Amino acid sequence: MRLTITIPVAVCLITLTGAALHAEECWPTFRGPNLEGIAEATGLPLTWSETENVKWKTPIHGRAWSSPVIVGDQIWLTTAPEDGRERYAVCVDRNTGKIMYDIKVFDVAEPQDIHEFNTYASPSPVIDPANPTRVYITFGSAGTACLDTRTGKILWTQRDLNCNHYRGAGASPILFENMLILPYDGSDAQFVAAMDRDTGKVIWKTDRSVDYEDIEPDGKPRRDGDFRKAFATANIGMVNGKPLLVSSGSKASYAYDPYTGKELWRIEDKKHFSASSTPVFGDGLIYIPTGLSRGEMWAVKPGGSGVVNDTHVAWKVRRGVPNKPSVLLIDGLLYMCDDGGIVSCLDAATGDEIWKDRVRGPFSASPLYADGRIYLFNEIGKTFVIAPGREFKQLAENDLDEGFMASPAVAGKAFYLRTKTHLYRIEK
């Protein structure tokens, strides 16, 4: 049986006022349409700084790493104070940079502990471009909510899905038909759940099935459950005309039927945990970084049942694999930027290294391909622009005052970049 993968293209159909809107005007979810970090926009700036090509710059209160999402004239993101006792949804006017809504969605009397590297508002929102009157946000176990984008009214909340995130939540929700799908990988519970997007009611919930092999003789998990943690956003691709949900947990990545939550197959990597990168579909394979520490890149052929390591892993790579940033697949080449700044290009069919170089790290944000260029955003505010292709070529180096933890967004001819303190519109 020949396996083919196609990615369903998200198309923005209407604005809040009913006017037609093109796909390049949308960035409806983490990493954009199809969660692959690829933008259709053209005419984007090559260079910028605090005094060059900044249309507006808006401070965002709190401390949060969630990435902005865009439909029409609205930009949505989340935030929280450092103590995590309040959780907010923020809407910014795309044209002016003015804050339209600043909505406290949840009070949290006893916030879970988080790692100092994480925040209480790291998962990104999602908007359905075909129905942009609804925005969906999550703070993991602290709660998930749906808001009306026209009024800021909270339409429903879901606070019955719980786990001890331990290091903090990281996975962003995705939309599929009538469902909002979200992984929960904590120290005490690990599962994927689908909620009804109109009501928040749980449609299905599937526990992770891997044996974590982390139980001490006294019956307690080692390291307080670190080996059960994960932060990765799931993805959905079309395989032989059917949708396939792929979600990376700790020590394994899983394929599910998104309609029912049934596990179809999984790959196991017992050496690595805390997966944070989103799987990428393309060229008949699924590309999955396996997690901490010093994880590997696996190219997986979809299909089979049960544990498919022996039959469906096409190739593995160990060097230069990111722990937090996701990867880019462009014209048969796979681009990776690891957390320390090693940038590499692989043949996507074989895993063979084509080139490797270094830029200044560290990196948490995922890279972006837009307007024929690759953009890499580091934690100290620098953006390195490189040319795609079979040799390394740096085109520009840009600098803003604060660093990037959130991944970029693109709409029209502009970048929308969230630093640790501000949201920017970068445009010629």
Question: Residue 365: what residue type?
Answer: A
Give the C-alpha separation, 283 to 163, whole Å: 36
Main-chain dihedrals φ then ψ at residue 356, nearest 5 degrees: -150, 140
Environment class of 257 (CB within 10 Å of its CB; exposed 0-12, middle 13-18, buried 19+): middle
Nearest one of 324, 402, 399 to 118, comparing CA atoms: 324
**Considering the entire predicted model, what is its pTM?**
0.93
* Residues in Cβ contact with 18 at an 8 Å cutoff, skipping those fewer than 6 apart: none
Give the C-alpha separation, 348 to 301, whole Å: 12
Residue 23: how many CB atoms within 10 A of its CB?
A: 18
Nearest one of 27, 56, 20, 55 to 41, comparing CA atoms: 27
Q: What is the pLDDT of residue 94?
A: 97
Give the C-alpha separation, 182 to 137, whole Å: 11
396 beta partners: 385
Helix (H, G, I), strand (E, B) or coil at 171: coil
Q: What is the pLDDT of residue 22?
A: 63
Residue 313: how many CB atoms within 10 A of its CB?
A: 16
Give the C-alpha separation, 237 to 136, whole Å: 21
Reading the block at residue 370, the tokens are 């837009």
Q: What is the pLDDT of residue 23?
A: 63
* Residues in Cβ contact with 323 at an 8 Å cutoff, skipping those fewer than 6 apart: 274, 276, 277, 289, 291, 292, 293, 295, 338, 339
Give the C-alpha separation, 341 to 148, whole Å: 40
- Give Cα separations from 232 to 17, 186, 279, 349 (angstroms): 34, 12, 8, 24
Give the C-alpha separation, 389 to 114, whole Å: 39
User: What does the DSSP assignment read for 344-362?
Assistant: EEEETTT--EEEEEE----
Owner of token pair 């096409």: 314
Give the C-alpha separation, 28 to 33, whole Å: 6
Q: What is the pLDDT of residue 10?
A: 42
Q: What is the pLDDT of residue 21?
A: 53
Domains of the chain: 5-330+418-427 (2.140.10.10)
Helix (H, G, I), strand (E, B) or coil at 182: strand
Give the C-alpha separation, 144 to 209, whole Å: 24
Reading the block at residue 117, the tokens are 């590297």
Residue 12 half-sphere exposure, CB side, CA atoms within 13 Å? 28
Q: Check if the beta carbon of residue 392 is closer than 8 Å to that of residue 345.
A: yes
Kindly give the parts of the chain with pLDDT less than 50: 1-20
**What is the distance, to the nearest Å, from the Cα of residue 37 to the centroid of all Cα atoms in its chain?**
9
